A = this chain, B = another copy of it.
Amino acid sequence: MVDILHRIGAEHTTPEQAYESLATLEGLSGWWTENTTGTTDVGGRIAFKFENGEFEMEVLELEPGERVLWEVVGGDVPEWIGTKIHWDLRREGDYTVVLFKHEGWREPIEFMHHCSTKWGSFLMSLKQQLETGTGAPWPRDVHTDNWG
């Protein structure tokens, strides 16, 4: 099993605001995909749609200002099904630190390389949303390669 890891730090915000960006449809729509629907409570399911794919997450854990955990339970990307996405938040000086882990890939296939760079780019979109109020969610996302 292999994991994708990332870390961003955002200024001019708080772990509570970062939590809102991860635990509400409005927040998620502002940095990952504008097409975010579903229920964000524990046990709820959130659907994230992009031009060529969709992910459905079940919300496993929520600790306001501290932690969000999802499991990928549906969608049309078989490599993601059963993987988990961890978000850990904390204050460090003037920064809100977001630790990210996309855990449980079966193999380090080329698509995992793509997803790692794309996650990094979307985390920079989250940082931008937290610092300026405006992120770059799909369809306004930064292109990292030829796989969209």
By a beta-carbon cutoff of 8 Å, the part of chain A in contact with chain B is 2-9, 92-95, 97, 99-101, 108, 110, 112-114, 116-117, 120-121, 123-124, 127, 142, 144-147
Q: How many copies altogether?
A: 2
**Chain B residues with CB under 8 A of A5:** 4, 108, 112-113, 116
Partner of A117, one of B7, B110, B114, B144: B7
**Chain B residues with CB under 8 A of A121:** 120, 124
What is the CA–CA distance of A89 and B35 in the complex, to the nearest angstrom? 34
A116/B146 in contact, CB under 8 A: no
Known: A2-B2, A3-B2. A145 touches B9 (CB 8 A): yes
